[in-house]
Amino acid sequence: MSRLLVVSDSHTYVPGLERIIDAYVEKYGIPDLCLHCGDGAQDLRRVEPKLRALNPNIVLRAVRGNCDWDGCADIPFERVVEAGGARIFMTHGHRYAVKSTIWVLDDIAKEENCTVALFGHTHVPFMQMTSVLMLNPGCAHMGQYLALELEDGRPNIHLETL
């Protein structure tokens, strides 16, 4: 089983992200992966020491959002991550018009042979099964996050708000 902490839209509010980590650990244990879906992608680097103190082998991955510019040139706009028997497509969502439709993102995730798509941008927690499982953790700046457990590709999903 893989334990994932998924956040998005922290918008440089690192103390809030640290509180999310504490809440996740208290409720779900130590994560194996921490994924950031953009707009504060560098915040993941800022909390890396805290996460590595919990789990030196934690996998940290981020994608760049529409507000991620300074110091983010090395962070991709999308990526595929494998965990717990699932292929996960990660994006911020602004390039896929997620504020008006999820079908563009559904198509690209399917093309990438993914079973899960993670996105942010809307600041609204979201879960829907299309041809892939579409998940948005909401806005970390407002204390929202996703606790996702994956085992043999099967998800256990918890959308949380502090």
- pLDDT tens column, 80-135: 999 999 999 999 999 999 999 999 999 999 999 999 999 999 999 999 999 999 99
Q: How many residues does the chain have?
A: 162
Cβ-based neighbour number of residue 6 at 10 Å: 27
Report the C-alpha gap between 104 and 97 in whole angstroms: 7
Q: What is the pTM of this model?
A: 0.97
Confidence band, pLDDT 50/70/90 cuts, at residue 71: confident
Domain residue extents for the chain: 2-161
Q: How confident is the model at residue 70 (pLDDT cuts 50, 70, 90)?
A: confident
| CA–CA distances in Å: residue 99 to residues 39, 52, 74, 121 | 15, 34, 26, 8
Q: Which of 121, 150, 120 is nearest to 137 (CA)?
A: 120
Nearest 10 degrees: Cα torsion 18, 74, 57, 53: -30
Topology given in CATH for the domain delimited by 2-161: Purple Acid Phosphatase; chain A, domain 2 (3.60.21)
Q: What is the pLDDT of residue 85?
A: 97
